[in-house]
Homo-oligomer: A and B are copies of this chain.
């Protein structure tokens, strides 16, 4: 705990993901006082035809 799930558009490199989880974990540790080992993050890539705002897929906006 905490367990964090991130939905984002596909296309990030492994290096960007590496940076993202490091920075997010730091942010959580300093904000709510948990140990780094307790912070677990799941990343989920999404295609732009799998996300909509206002009833329109991202590929159509």
Contacts and interface: CB of A to CB of B under 8 A. Distances in A.
Q: How many copies does the complex hold?
A: 6
Contacts of A1: 7-9, 46, 51, 58
Tell me whether chain A's interface is mostly helix, strand or loop, or mixed.
mixed
B56 A51 contact: no
B20 A27 contact: yes
B46 A32 contact: no
A42 to B, nearest CB: 6
Contacts of A51: 1, 40-43
A55 to B, nearest CB: 3
A14 B34 CA distance: 17
A50 B21 CA distance: 9
